[in-house]
Each structure stands twice: as structure tokens, then as C-alpha cells.
Amino acid sequence: MTDSQEIPVATLGVPRFGRRRELKFALESYWSGTSSAGDLLTTSKALRAASWEEQRDRGVSKIPSNDFSLYDHVLDTAAMVGAVPSRYGWNSGEVPLDIYFAMARGNQGQTEDCGHAGHQEEAHGPGVTAMEMTKWFDTNYHYIVPELDDDQTFALSSSKPVDYFLEAKALGIHTRPVILGPITFLKLAKSPAEGFGPIALLPRLLPVYEQVLQRLKLSGADWVQIDEPALVLDLNPNERAAFEFAYGQLSKAAPELKIMLATYFGSLGDNLETAVSLPLAGLHIDLVRAPEQLETVGRLAPKDLVLSLGLIDGRNVWRANLPAILDRIKPIVAGWPLDRVEIAPSCSMLHVPIDLRMETELDADIRSWLAFAAQKTDELVLLARALSQGRDAVAGALKASAEAAATRVTSTRIHDPLVQGRIASIEDSAKRRESAFGERSRVQAGSLGLPPFPTTTIGSFPQTPQVRKARAAHAKGQLSYVDYETFLKKEIEAAIRWQEEIGLDVLVHGEFERNDMVQHFGEQLSGFALTQHAWVQSYGSRYVRPPIIFGDVSRRNPMTVRWWQFAQSLTEKPVKGMLTGPVTILNWSFVRDDVPRSEACRQIALAIRDEVTDLERSGARMVQIDEAAFREGLPLRQSDWKVYLDWAVECFRIASTGVKDATQIHTHMCYSEFNEIIHAIAGMDADVISIETSRSKMELLDAFTSSKYPNEIGPGVYDIHSPRVPEVGEISDLVMLARERLSDGQLWINPDCGLKTRKWEEVRPALINMVAAARALRQKV
Ligand code: GLN
Ligand code: ZN
């Protein structure tokens, strides 16, 4: 394929919020009433213009529009089709901005997250609750879950795709608008009607999509990108038929408008034949997660179908090895006509940070191995040039790319023989406790002397403005080390005294020193790099800066022992050591792509194991290892679950089993849908697990029948996502519901999650009530 014809370059979508997080500040200022809707729209318009111009200047030819969103693209789609639940009081016409935000945040605008988990705070008082939010496929981006009733009607209620197309056109930039496809939209929706699957609404939904396509065509669009990542999921025959029906209709709606159907996050697998048989002009495939599908898709697709090759990783931060990619695809694409191909990232670059050039503090070696959205865009352009003009046209850049890749293979910054040796020699005995749970539990009962229904909390106490301020001042060098330590000691001491005073049985130090449950460990472990500006959107105006695991991981020094020791020195009651588990650290970081995830996870597990045994050696009788992100690491296809669960459980066990029988291992998970994976949860063999159950009225505890789960359990009895203080009676009622499902000997009493997002005024009475409920119960039994 050497010809001077240009191969198109697409980005599929780019980060929305601006290099300086301009969108965040504009949104929050609008929500707080400090600035007007006009200000918000002006800021966002400028961000879109800058992003389009940048892509054009970098050489992108298929520039997306409508990938931008003020909050979330799934919510945009719900607004576009008029799927506004009745509680928001909307009837017809354009969905106004304030209803849009009420759907996202409730109309009192409180949202809180418990760390990363993407929990929304329940609106309280008069007002309307927000719609639910959940993870977008297996990313850490959260979308607003559409609510569709069985009598749902749809009507075109937002001209956003057309508006943005015209906005770019006015700047002289011809874009390819992006919309979320109808099947994925319906598949992500939930319905309040029992037993009703939203996919049945497809015939009613399609006319709205047809209108959108027609309007785009009338406005001058020649292509549209329709995202259907649902095509990489397990689909039933009904859903596959829905694809055929939908695209049969849509291809006729605006015949001259060409559809590029984008699939990503995995392999088409058993949906491949469906995908290539749809009447489309183009199909995008993810060749990072599923490189093997290039050959099959190329063979089975009609010859006039444009294939958009997702060659650059849209989910991770690594610089590509461009010559290696070219070598890999060359034998397959060599005979293809140039106009059959487009070059793209594996998926929208929404999931990577914006521009590596902002990371001025990052170590030069590590920087040379990274690429963020801007750099990835350049890589796409280089690949396209190499394919259309020959490698010589971009020889220098290809050489630099290969050299960076080569240094990664040998760098001593990355490869640590000590770590690799330890991994290779982990014996099976290092993956299990000395005795089975029954025996351990007897030993622990004897040494810990806890009352029945022991009370505890999940770890963090309120991160008050003073706590945040002190940490920030210390980080900026404005508060000396000594003064910061003094401040933390005072906070911990007050927390311990107060926990003793109200009569909690198992205490925590409060996590005042921690910014974030993953970053805190990432900062202390070798093999991790932290960034200054590498934000990615988690939801709405909330962004996270995941640590980057670039090399073999090891623990330089104890990470938590000192603060635990200080806290324990203040009290006779047991204070739990508090750690984040290996699977959660992995799932909330950017992970190196040169070793399997399981391998990177084992290394983290060994580092945590060292910390656990150091805590024990220092006298800790209990250590909690949080695995908030254990379940969310589940692969998209059920057939891949077992492999993941096997290594994830193994890693938790490596981290947790280095201790004696008398040391009690706790774990915590921020959810309780364990039905399908209860076997794995039991396999982790923690002595005590705390889970989130208060909102589900303990129904989800059904998974924990004692034959499946004999160990101890603390089902949350206090909903920490709401500022409401639960009454003693409510807590007792929840405990009674738990007792219907668990034996008394198994049961702990604790909140749903950590209390860092709450205020002390809420936490104090709530925990006092929780202790009172436990005491009342002890009197009764
Ligand atoms: N120990 C952590 C805390 O209490 C757990 C948080 C979480 O799992 N999200 O904040
Ligand atoms: Zn939690």
C-alpha cells in the first residue's frame, strides 16, 4: 500500500474538560450560583473550538463533534430522545439545562463519592433525586443510567448533535458527529417495570434517531460515527436481531449519510458476523484489546466497508511501538485499497489524560515511555502517513518510537530482578492461612475477647476542611513536617478518644493522612509514578488522577505502621491496620502493558503482604485490606470471569495470609451484589468482610448463606451516602433483617463504607445510634 493518497485519521472522541480543567470550574461555579448559564456555555464553546482546532492542526481528518458533553454522553442521549423521567416535570421541547443537571445530580445538587466508587449522594429534603450512575463498561468513567418505563415514548428533544456540527462548521471545520447507538443506549438503560427489557422499545426509539441523522445530513454532514460498544458484550439472539433491524432502518433514513459504526473495549467475538453483515459504510474495531480480529474482520467484511483500525490504546497511557504495529498489520492490509482503511485509537480517548507536555515534574525516562491524548493523536497521524506514503516519509519518528520501546524492555527502572525472583518463588503455602477459618475463629475469639455483634467502622473519618487544608499546606511546603505531624496526631487522638467514649469495640485511626486510598500507596511504592495534571473524567465534574504503574512494584519502607502504632498506643481496644488491597490498587491505576495484569497485581500483593506482616509484628491484632474495586474488575464477557477471579483471589490471599491464626484479617467492599461471584468472595478467606447493604434492605445478603459463606460479615447498617442520621430503631430493624439470613456468631455491626465524605455532625449521632442498637441487641439475646 504505497500511494500518496491520504489515509484518514480519526480520534473517535477526546477529553472534554480542558488542559486546566476549565469545564470543571465553569460547571461548579454555575452550580453554586456564582456564574450564569451563559458563562458556562461560553467556556464550553471555547473548549470545543480549541479541541477541534488542535485536532485539525495535528492532522486529524475525521474530527469528532458531539463527543463533548457538559456532564455525560449517555445522559445527553437520554435528553436527545426525550427520555426524561416524570419526576423532573418536563413535558416537551428542548430539555432545559437545569433539568439536564437535575437528572445528573438531583435538584439540590449534592453529589458525593466515597472515594472512587461513583456513588451518588441521595438528595434529601424537598427536591428530586438524581438518576442512578454506574460504570461505563469496564472503565472508571461513570454514566447516568437511563430510566425507561414500559410505556416510554420518545421525541427529539435536543439539537445538540446538529448544533455542535454547525458550530464547528462555522469555524471552517468539517466534523464527523458522534452519537451513542440505539442498542447500546437501550442496553445500558434500566426499567422500573418488573421483567421489562428496554430493548423492546427499539421500534419506538428509532424514529428519533432517524430524525437526527436526517438533520445532520441536511446540515452538511457526510459521515456520522455511531458508537455501539454493546457489540463486544455477550448478546442474545434477540439483541443481535435488534442490531439488524436498527441498522436496516437507520441506513435508509438518510441514505447519503455514511455510518461508521464504532465498536470498542474488546473483541466482536460471536457478534462478528452480525457486525459485518450490517448495511454500513464503515466499521471500527478495537485492535488493542483484540488484535486477532483484524484478520477475520478483513476477510469477512464486504470489500466496500471502510475499516477503522483501532491501533493506538485509548485506555492506557503508554507510547506505542509504531514500527511493531506496522509490522503486525502489514501482511493483512497489504493488498487492501487505501480507501478501505482509517486509522484510529482503540476507543474514544476520553479515558486518557490530555497532554503529556504538562507533566514537567515527571522523570525523563518515564516520560519518554508515555503518550496522552495529544501524543496519541500524533501517533495516529504517523501510522497513517507510514501506510499511505511509506515508512521513509516518517522514518525519524518511527525510529524514536522504536527506541523508546526498546529502552522499556531493558530499563532497570522497570525491571527489578529481586521482585521477579520473589514472584517466581511464591509457594502455595504463602497463599493460605495456617489453619482453616473454623480454627482461626476459635483462636481469635479467645484472644480478642470481643462482645457478640461487635461494632466497628470502615476506616476513614470526616475529611474536614481543616484536614484537607493542612494536607494541602504541607504538600505545598507551607506547613512544616513537624507541624503537620502534630496536627495529624491531634486528629487521631481525638478520634480514638471519641470512639472509646461512645463504646465502639474495634477502632480505626481515621485515615486523616490519606488523600486517596490508592494514591496514598502509589506515592510510597516503587514502580509507581504520580502525575500533576493527568486527570481523567470519573463522572460529571469529578476527575481522578490514577497513579501509573510503570515497573516492578516493591515496598521501600513500611507505609502505614507508624500511624497505626501511634493510634494503638492510645487505647487498649484493638485498632485495625488499614490498607488498600492489591486488586483495587491495580484497578484504579494505569497499569503497565508489558506484563499481564495478573503479574502486576501479584507484585502489589507481595508489597501489601510485607505491610500486613509488619503491622502484625508491631502488634496489630487486626488488619483490614480494602478491595473496593474487586468486583468492578470483572471482564465484560462472562467467559473471561473465571481467569480474572482466580488471579484476583490469589492476589488477595498473597496479601493477606502471611499472618498467624490469631491475627484477624478484615476486608471491605463497597457493594453487595455477590450472587454470581460468592464462591470467589469466600475463596478470599478474609476472617471478616464488611459490605454495603443498608439501601438494599439486606436482600443482597441472600448470597451469603452460611453454606456458601461461613466467615464473619458486617453488612452495612448505616447509609453513609446520605447526610441523614439513622434512628436506633431503623438500625435495629436492618440488623434483624440481617439476622434472618446470617447466624448471630457471624454478624458485625458497621456502616456501609468509610465516613470521609460526611460531616462530624452527621457521623457522631449516627454512630452513637449504631452502638446503641448493638447494645440493645446484646441485652436481648
Ligand atoms: N477504608 C476506606 C475508608 O474507610 C475504604 C473506602 C472504600 O472502600 N471506598 O474510606
Ligand atoms: Zn466502601
**How far apart are the CA of 670 and the centre of ligand 2, in A?**
4
What confidence score (pLDDT) does residue 108 get?
Answer: 64
Between 111 and 220, residue with greater pLDDT:
220
Which runs of E-coded beta strand occur in 264-323? 282-286, 306-312
**Distance from C-alpha of 716 to C-alpha of 441, rounded to nearest angstrom:** 21
**Distance from C-alpha of 266 to C-alpha of 635, rounded to nearest angstrom:** 10
Residue 444 CB-half CA count within 13 A: 28
pLDDT tens for each residue of 430-461: 999 999 999 999 999 999 999 999 999 999 99
pLDDT-based confidence at 4, cuts 50/70/90? low
Question: Which residues neighbour 29 within 8 Å (Cβ) at sequence distance 6 or greater?
Answer: 35, 39, 40
Centroid of chain to Cα 42: 29
Which is the closest atom of ligand 1 to the Cα of 754? Answer: 4
Reply yes or no on whether 721 is catalytic: yes
Question: Which ligand is nearest to the Cα of residue 581, counting in written order?
Answer: 1
Q: What sign for the dihedral angle of Cα 248, 253, 255, 258?
A: negative
pLDDT-based confidence at 695, cuts 50/70/90? confident
Q: Is 692 exposed, middle or buried (0-12, 13-18, 19+ CB in 10 A)?
A: buried
Does 76 contact ligand 1 (Cβ within 6 A)? no
Does 715 contact ligand 1 (Cβ within 6 A)? no
**How far apart are the CA of 192 and the centre of ligand 2, in A?**
26
What confidence score (pLDDT) does residue 697 get?
Answer: 87
pLDDT at 482 > cutoff 60: yes
pLDDT tens for each residue of 537-593: 999 999 999 999 999 999 999 999 999 999 999 999 999 999 999 999 999 999 999
What confidence score (pLDDT) does residue 199 get?
Answer: 96
Atom 6, ligand 1: residue with shortest CA distance: 754
**Distance from C-alpha of 320 to C-alpha of 288, rounded to nearest angstrom:** 11
Question: Which residues neighbour 646 within 8 Å (Cβ) at sequence distance 6 or greater?
Answer: none
Atom 3, ligand 1: residue with shortest CA distance: 754
> What's the distance, Cα to Cα, between the start and end of the chain in Å?
80
Supply the Cα-derived Rg of the chain in whole angstroms. Answer: 27
Instruction: Specify the amino acid at residue 327.
Output: D
Does 516 contact ligand 1 (Cβ within 6 A)? no
H-only helix segments in 715-758 = 728-739
**Distance from C-alpha of 167 to C-alpha of 389, rounded to nearest angstrom:** 33
Q: What sign for the dihedral angle of Cα 65, 69, 73, 78?
A: negative
pTM greater than the 0.90 cutoff: yes
For residues 685 and 663, the answer to whether their CB atoms sit within 8 Å is no
**Distance from C-alpha of 367 to C-alpha of 75, rounded to nearest angstrom:** 35
Instruction: Specify the amino acid at residue 51.
Output: S
pLDDT at 667 > cutoff 60: yes
Local structure of residue 269 (DSSP, 8 states): G
Reference 470, options 480, 461, 460; nearest CA is: 480
Local structure of residue 87 (DSSP, 8 states): G
For residues 281 and 258, the answer to whether their CB atoms sit within 8 Å is yes
Does 460 contact ligand 1 (Cβ within 6 A)? yes
- Which residues keep their CB under 5 angstroms from ion ligand 2? 670, 753
* ipTM over 0.95 threshold: yes
With pLDDT > 70 as the criterion, what percentage of the chain qualifies? 97
Which runs of E-coded beta strand occur in 266-424? 282-286, 306-312, 341-345
Reference 460, options 646, 248, 720; nearest CA is: 720
Pocket test for ligand 1, best of 626, 652, 720 (most atoms within 8 A of CB): 626
Written as nine digits, the cell of 308 is 477503522
Reference 738, options 769, 773, 686; nearest CA is: 773
For residues 297 and 283, the answer to whether their CB atoms sit within 8 Å is yes
Atom 1, ligand 1: residue with shortest CA distance: 459
Atom 5, ligand 1: residue with shortest CA distance: 754
Does 713 contact ligand 1 (Cβ within 6 A)? no
Q: What sign for the dihedral angle of Cα 624, 628, 631, 634?
A: negative
β-sheet bridge partners, residue 460? 510
Instruction: Specify the amino acid at residue 568.
Output: Q
For residues 602 and 646, the answer to whether their CB atoms sit within 8 Å is no
**Distance from C-alpha of 665 to C-alpha of 687, rounded to nearest angstrom:** 5
**How far apart are the CA of 690 and the centre of ligand 2, in A?**
8
Question: Which residues neighbour 225 within 8 Å (Cβ) at sequence distance 6 or greater?
Answer: 10, 12, 62, 64, 176, 177, 178, 179, 260, 262, 284
Question: Which ligand is nearest to the Cα of residue 691, counting in written order?
Answer: 2
For residues 463 and 757, the answer to whether their CB atoms sit within 8 Å is yes
Taking residues 119-144, report their average pLDDT: 79
**Distance from C-alpha of 171 to C-alpha of 154, rounded to nearest angstrom:** 32
Pocket test for ligand 1, best of 458, 520, 538, 690 (most atoms within 8 A of CB): 458
- Helices 465-475, 481-502: axis angle to 10 degrees equals 160
**How far apart are the CA of 119 and the centre of ligand 2, in A?**
10
**How far apart are the CA of 481 and the centre of ligand 1, in A?**
25
Pocket test for ligand 1, best of 457, 515, 516, 517 (most atoms within 8 A of CB): 517
How long a stretch of residues is the chain?
781
Question: Which ligand is nearest to the Cα of residue 510, counting in written order?
Answer: 1
pLDDT at 124 > cutoff 70: no
**How far apart are the CA of 517 and the centre of ligand 2, in A?**
11
pLDDT at 114 > cutoff 80: no
> What torsion, rounded to 10 degrees, do the Cα atoms 23, 27, 28, 30 define?
140
Which is the closest atom of ligand 1 to the Cα of 670? Answer: 8
For residues 649 and 680, the answer to whether their CB atoms sit within 8 Å is yes
- Reduced to 3 states (helix: H, G, I; strand: E, B; else coil), residue 68 is coil
What confidence score (pLDDT) does residue 113 get?
Answer: 52
What confidence score (pLDDT) does residue 2 get?
Answer: 43
**Distance from C-alpha of 266 to C-alpha of 778, rounded to nearest angstrom:** 52
What confidence score (pLDDT) does residue 501 get?
Answer: 98
- Reduced to 3 states (helix: H, G, I; strand: E, B; else coil), residue 720 is coil
β-sheet bridge partners, residue 486? none
pLDDT-based confidence at 3, cuts 50/70/90? very low
Question: Which ligand is nearest to the Cα of residue 629, counting in written order?
Answer: 1
Does 578 contact ligand 1 (Cβ within 6 A)? yes
Does 591 contact ligand 1 (Cβ within 6 A)? no
Question: In terms of DSSP bridges, do strands 536-539 and 542-544 run parallel, antiparallel, or are they unpaired?
Answer: antiparallel
Taking residues 256-263, report their average pLDDT: 98
Does 756 contact ligand 1 (Cβ within 6 A)? yes
Written as nine digits, the cell of 499 is 470512639
Does 680 contact ligand 1 (Cβ within 6 A)? no
Does 626 contact ligand 1 (Cβ within 6 A)? yes
pLDDT-based confidence at 118, cuts 50/70/90? very low
- DSSP of 421-487: HHHHT--GGGGS-SS-HHHHHHHHHHHH-PPSS-B---SB----HHHHHHHHHHHTTSS-HHHHHHH
With pLDDT > 90 as the criterion, what percentage of the chain qualifies? 92
pLDDT-based confidence at 182, cuts 50/70/90? very high
Reference 712, options 752, 668, 656, 770; nearest CA is: 668
Does 555 contact ligand 1 (Cβ within 6 A)? no
What confidence score (pLDDT) does residue 700 get?
Answer: 86
Written as nine digits, the cell of 527 is 514502580
**Per-residue exposure over 449-488, b if at least 16 CB sit within 10 Å of its own CB, e if not:** ebeebbbbbbbbbbbeeebeebbeebeeeebeeeebbebb
Question: Which ligand is nearest to the Cα of residue 628, counting in written order?
Answer: 1
Atom 10, ligand 1: residue with shortest CA distance: 754
Taking phi over 0 as left and psi of -120 to 50 as alpha, with beta for the rest, 274 belongs to alpha
Taking residues 757-781, report their average pLDDT: 97
pLDDT at 120 > cutoff 80: no
Reference 533, options 11, 133, 13, 24; nearest CA is: 24
Written as nine digits, the cell of 704 is 451469603
Does 117 contact ligand 1 (Cβ within 6 A)? yes
What confidence score (pLDDT) does residue 117 get?
Answer: 44
Does 628 contact ligand 1 (Cβ within 6 A)? yes
What confidence score (pLDDT) does residue 142 get?
Answer: 96
pLDDT-based confidence at 699, cuts 50/70/90? confident
pLDDT tens for each residue of 143-159: 999 999 999 999 999 99
**How far apart are the CA of 540 and the centre of ligand 1, in A?**
22
For residues 543 and 24, the answer to whether their CB atoms sit within 8 Å is yes
Residue 25 CB-half CA count within 13 A: 8
- Residue 655 phi/psi, 5° resolution? -65, -35
Local structure of residue 180 (DSSP, 8 states): E
pLDDT-based confidence at 123, cuts 50/70/90? very low
**Distance from C-alpha of 448 to C-alpha of 663, rounded to nearest angstrom:** 9
**How far apart are the CA of 517 and the centre of ligand 1, in A?**
7
For residues 350 and 16, the answer to whether their CB atoms sit within 8 Å is yes
Look over the chain and give the mean of its residue pLDDT values, rounded to a whole number: 95
Taking residues 487-511, report their average pLDDT: 98
pLDDT at 360 > cutoff 90: yes
